[in-house]
Amino acid sequence: MDLLNTLVDKGLRRETPTRAEALAVLATSDDDLLEVVAAAGKVRRHWFGRRVKLNYLVNLKSGLCPEDCSYCSQRLGSEAGILKYTWLKPDQASQAAAAGLAGGAKRVCLVASGRGPTDRDVDRVSDTIKAIKEQNEDVEVCACLGLLSDGQAERLREAGADAYNHNLNTSESTYGDITTTHTYADRVDTVRKAHAAGLSACSGLIAGMGESDEDLVDVVFSLRELDPDSVPVNFLIPFEGTPLAKEWNLTPQRCLRILAMVRFVCPDVEVRIAGGREVHLRTMQPLALHLANSVFLGDYLTSEGQAGKADLEMIADAGFEVEGTDQVTLPEHRAGGGCGSGEGGGVCGPAATAAGSCGSAAEEPRTDLVAVRRRGAGTDLAPNA
């Protein structure tokens, strides 16, 4: 297929595809799916080999968020029966992180619900980062605390944070349809603050919220312009009790096409399969490893994920290997002696239907696959890692 040959050539040269080419990837048929995966897999292997980076989430503060993000089970007015608790103490968070690190995770992502951190919250998280690094000096720590105020990114960096996550989630033109309590521009500003402070920028998207192909391409091109080091691709988990509970728009095939499009547009960036992979990719998860070079291990913020042991078996059975702490995640031209390089310091660097013209239509809702997290951080039960 001429399109795929062109995209592979561009990916190997780090050349940006055209919007038409990105849209064409999403419009390919299920009959061509394996060709699409194979083509994007060439780009993935060129820049990242067969390594898979493992990341582990620790939810420092769950629920009770004042923001109204429609996709989120922790949102204002959410009726989802999730765990709700206030800030974990540093030793509790460190203990939770240790489980993920023991399972092979290289990065710990510290997440807290809310609009953004107060200065006292930054102090709390700084103490947590130090506690984790005292026990595991080689671990990467990414903070995800919402919108940042001036100077907060610098303080997190001084405390030992390596990265900061803040997702764009969807296109600028449709952002107001999913959130009204803050703006798309607010999110862009926070990613830029993190980058400017010397933190590795991590920013991604959520697919499956009723967006069009054009929306998906818009947000991925916006991410390319922001130039984060890692791009998490989330697939909406339609929690009962949230406004998007009925949005079951994804098939495994569409998820794979979305991941392939992201890889072609962001060829040399850490593409991470994030929330919802078990719900929407299901038995097709191993194919996604040919597109993304990073996954979350175990559970998510408020939902259960695949067993950690099953994740590791899947990676090995698919012919991939877990990336070690002594290995560099990013290609040399991106690493810059910062996060993921193995060295200290430095900067790392509702519209159309979701099926559209992309082949298979959405299937019946698989509500049986949405399990609220009841173990790990904030509970007395052992975590899944």
- For this structure, is 339 an active site residue? no
266 an active-site residue?
Answer: no
Residue 154's SS3 state is helix
Q: Compute the C-alpha angle 235/239/244, nearest 5°.
A: 75
Residue from 75, 107, 144, 202 carrying the catalytic annotation: 202
Looking at every residue in the chain, the average pLDDT score rounds to 91
Instruction: Give residue-wise pLDDT tens across range 218-240.
Output: 999 999 999 999 999 999 999 99
Domains of the chain: 2-369 (3.20.20.70)
Which one-letter DSSP state was computed for residue 319? T
Give the number of other Cβ atoms within 10 Å of residue 186's Cβ. 17
* Rounded-to-5 percentages of helix, strand, coil across the chain: 40, 15, 45
In total, the chain counts a number of residues equal to: 385
Q: Is the pLDDT of residue 125 over 80?
A: yes
pLDDT digits (tens, 9 = 90+) for 311-351: 999 999 999 999 999 999 999 999 753 333 333 333 333 23
Query: Long-range contacts made by residues 331-335, C-beta under 8 angstroms, separation at least 24?
Result: 331/47, 331/48, 331/268, 333/268, 334/229, 334/268, 334/269
Instruction: Provide CB contacts within 8 A for 231, sequence distance 6+.
Output: 202, 203, 204, 205, 220, 223, 262, 266, 269, 270, 271, 272
What pLDDT is stored for residue 342 in this prediction?
A: 37
Of 44, 65, 157, 263, the catalytic one is 65
Chain segment 38-52, per-residue pLDDT in tens = 999 999 999 999 999
Contacts of 99 (CB under 8 A, 6+ apart): 56, 298, 376, 382, 383, 385
Give yes or no for residue 85 having a pLDDT over 60: yes
**Cα–Cα distance measured from residue 275 to residue 144, given in angstroms and rounded to the nearest whole number:** 15
| This prediction's pTM | 0.89
pLDDT on residue 371: 80
The stretch 190-205 carries a mean pLDDT of: 97
Instruction: Count other C-beta atoms under 10 Å from residue 46's C-beta.
Output: 14
Q: Which of 157, 272, 277, 373 is catalytic?
A: 272
- DSSP for 358-377? SSSPP----GGG--B--SST
Active-site residue, selected from the candidate residues 44, 72, 254, 358: 72
Whole-angstrom distance between the N-terminal and C-terminal Cα of the chain? 41
Q: Which residue has the higher pLDDT, 184 or 74?
A: 184
What is the model's pLDDT at position 348?
31
- Region of 114 (left: φ > 0; alpha: ψ -120 to 50; beta: rest) is left
pLDDT of 145 higher than 80: yes
Whether 185 has a pLDDT exceeding 50, the answer reads yes
b vs e for 203-223, b when ≥16 Cβ sit within 10 Å of the residue's Cβ? bbbbbbbbbbbbbbbbbbbbb
Q: Which residue has the higher pLDDT, 77 or 190?
A: 190
359: confidence class by pLDDT, cuts 50, 70, 90: very low
Contact status, residue 33 vs residue 257, Cβ threshold 8 Å: yes
Q: Which of 11-20, 138-147, 282-291, 337-346 has the lowest mean pLDDT?
A: 337-346
Alpha helices, DSSP H only, in the chain? 2-12, 19-26, 33-48, 90-102, 119-135, 152-159, 175-178, 184-196, 213-226, 252-265, 277-280, 285-288, 308-317, 332-335
pLDDT computed for residue 377 by the predictor: 86
Quick one: average pLDDT of 126-153?
96
Residue 11 has pLDDT above 70, yes or no: yes
Mean pLDDT value across residues 104-124: 96
% of residues, the chain, pLDDT over 70:
93
User: Are the beta carbons of 148 and 179 closer than 8 angstroms?
Assistant: no
Radius of gyration for the alpha carbons in the chain, expressed in angstroms and rounded = 19
pLDDT digits (tens, 9 = 90+) for 162-174: 999 999 999 999 9
> Of 44, 124, 142, 339, which is the active-site residue?
142
Q: How many CA atoms lie within 13 A of 257 on its CB side?
A: 29
At residue 284 the predicted structure's pLDDT band, cuts being 50, 70 and 90, is very high
Q: Are 179 and 67 in contact (CB under 8 A)?
A: yes
Residue 55: phi and psi, rounded to 5, are -120, 150
* Residue 202 appears among annotated catalytic residues: yes
Instruction: Please tell me the predicted confidence (pLDDT) of residue 195.
Output: 95
- From the centroid of its chain, how far is CA 267? 16
